[in-house]
Chain A
Amino acid sequence: MSGTWMTTRAWLLMAPLLAVMIAVIGWPLVDTVALSFTDAKLVGTGGNFVGLENYTKMLSSGNFQRTLVTTAWFAIISVAAEMVLGVLAALLLNQEFRGRTVLRALMILPWALPTVVNATLWRLIYNPEYGALNAALTQIGLLDSYRSWLGEPGSALTALIVADCWKNFPLVALIALAALQAVPREITSASLVDGAGPISRFRFVILPYLAGPLMVALVLRTIEAFKVFDIIWVMTRGGPANSTRTLSILVYQEAFSFQRAGSGASLALIVTLLVTVLAVAYAALVRKTAGSAA
């Protein structure tokens, strides 16, 4: 069989999928790009062409810059915490002990919860009048009186990060656990015989096996965290005083609450671009780690 026929056949076989992707991803994307250069409203007539005005206005607005910082902060802290917690949990669950299977199954639960349920749950935990967190902290004497966790700019974002971590670290743990099971027992045994302590065992024997899969988890989680919307919308709606407003919430407000579809589209594309840059950078990193591991 000739190479050209193989190539043609490959394209033919992929054609249906490509057609679907163009219809559901390609066309809306092109449409959004076109929309972002207009002053179109959400309902009513299509807008007029305004060039780059939407972009320049958005990029220079204080709202956007402040929101970008909030989003970056949320993404960096929550993803870092999820990676550390996830790996620690995976190391623990990789040990042999009674009840390990039950614990492994339980760990998936938070991740399996719908985000909105998780958000509602944590809102109850943080409730300033009858929340479990306030009750627990006052009863063990760490707090003098109940606090408004989601009502103070200082604690609201941290409270959201904790809620997001609780839900998402199991994903990292799951990926790390799968990778850990691929570490050959002879190597860990050999390093024990050679007298390696727990830290150097992790650093030089186990981590090289984890690096590739963890990179994948890192990419997935960072992109997700950068796009965060639902957990924040349910818990604080961006408040207090916009201290937890992320880019996706800004897009929502612009496009739907204020009905400015044009500038909403431009903002959405800016967010997409930022996420794409992150994804490409990570992909390069993954290729590099995979190369060095081989």
Chain B
Amino acid sequence: MSNSITRALIGAALLSASFAHHAFAETTLNALFMAQAAYSEADVRAMTDAFTKANPDIKVNLEFVPYEGLHDKTVLAQGSGGGYDVVLFDVIWPAEYASNNVLVDISSRVTDEMKKGVLPGAWTTVQYDGKYYGMPWILDTKYLFYNKEILEKAGITAPPKTWDELAEQAKVIKDKGLLQTPIAWSWAQAEAAICDYTTLVSAYGGEFLKDGKPAFQSDGGLDALNYMVTSYKSGLTNPNSKEFLEEDVRKVFENGEAAFALNWTYMYNLANSGKDSKVTGKVGVVPAPGVAGKSEVSAVNGSMGLGVTSVSKHPDEAWKYIVHMTSQDTQNQYAKLSLPIWASSYEDPAVTQGQEELIGAAKLGLAAMYPRPTTPKYQELSTALQQAIQEALLGQASPEEALQSAAENSGL
């Protein structure tokens, strides 16, 4: 009798202990992503579901904001002392995040296997001052997309190799009356405009900063803005480009209203086989062109990484989640809207099949990725440059004057 009571008690104790243990082990991670370009919201949810299925003791709350709100939301949550464990960050922010202690240094967690397997260009996305502040996740650059049908009608046999050729081909298309304004860009007063500008700066061999001081107001930096203004004023560029973000460019291109468009990886499969696209099967993609005597191709580093915030109470679980999201298996499985960071994935038929053209462009483009300046004051510099680009396009200032005042207002 007493024996059975003892047994029952022990059983109860064990049971409650196991419950308690379970409740204790349950961890909730809050993660911040963007609802724009690259992986779709559905993709991110599916990847996360696979993680929580494999780790039932970890729950992940996902939040999505537009790219334009990502930086401020991260910083604000940090400033108010709570918020996210895992945040998506753009290649331009590690300097600021590191100096303001927003992200933790995870150098010790990065394994040799990761270091060897991931493309070197991808690592530059998460590094600052020799330290690692996260794992690269979205490996992206701007490509030149073209409408094969329109080029064919215009009698153009090959897409442009240089920016001058692009202007010539666009002029042929315009003169033949195929399209009034053949080129679409994302030149709204936003970071998107800086990405297009940077692509051109890399083509013209320009430099943003020299010894920490602005250098974009002369040479390549000035040539790049001059190209934009000329293209805009000559009517080859869709004038609405100055209020377009990436999604607007995609809509115009998918409606067949642009022969050429500069955009990220994600547009390829959406435009070429998406259900809302009117140009399915007619989409061509090449690396952004170069400039004769200066560059073969041009590209901006538009990659993004996942990092652990310094306020996270669960850095181990957060890192585990990041490892899952950036793993080769996960990335190969969702390679339609964003290409993997892993070098060997580009030889894997499961990844390349059906998008050989994109992979071909990626091999050249990703190797040429040019960085936007690395400085803790990047947001100020970018804001000043956005204003300069728009003033020059609108004819409120000459490109020289506009860039000169941007250099003065950049805070550097």
Contact = CB atoms under 8 A, between A and B. Distances in A.
Nearest to B251: A129
B381 to A, nearest CB: 10
B71 A237 contact: no
Given A257-B383, A258-B380, A242 B100 contact: no
Contacts of B379: 257-259
Q: Max chain B CB contacts within 10 Å: which of A129, A148, A152, A257?
A: A129
Contact of B190 (A41, A128, A148, A237): A237
Contacts of A129: 240, 248, 251-252, 255, 257
Interface in A258-291: 258-259, 261
A255 to B, nearest CB: 9
A152 B390 contact: no
Nearest to A123: B243
Given A150-B243, A257-B383, A236 B79 contact: no
B394 A153 contact: yes
A257 B243 contact: no
B224 interface: no
A151 B100 contact: no
A259 B101 CA distance: 13
Secondary structure type dominating chain B contacts: helix
Contacts of B248: 129
Interface in B203-257: 239-240, 242-243, 248, 251-252, 255, 257
B386 to A, nearest CB: 8
B348 to A, nearest CB: 38
B62 to A, nearest CB: 21
B75 A148 contact: no
B141 interface: no
Contacts of B79: 42-43, 261
B391 interface: yes
B189 interface: yes
A101 interface: no
Contact of B396 (A148, A153, A261): A153
Interface in A228-244: 236-242
A258 B384 CA distance: 12
B78 A43 contact: yes
A3 interface: no
Contacts of A41: 100
Contacts of B72: 252, 256-257
B244 to A, nearest CB: 9
A180 B58 CA distance: 62
A65 interface: no
Interface string B87-112: 00000000010001110000000000
B102 A43 contact: yes
A253 interface: yes
The 9 A-B pairs of least Cβ separation, nearest first, read A239-B189, A151-B243, A241-B390, A128-B240, A241-B391, A42-B79, A148-B240, A43-B100, A151-B242
Interface of A: 41-44, 63, 128-129, 146, 148, 150-153, 236-242, 252-253, 256-259, 261
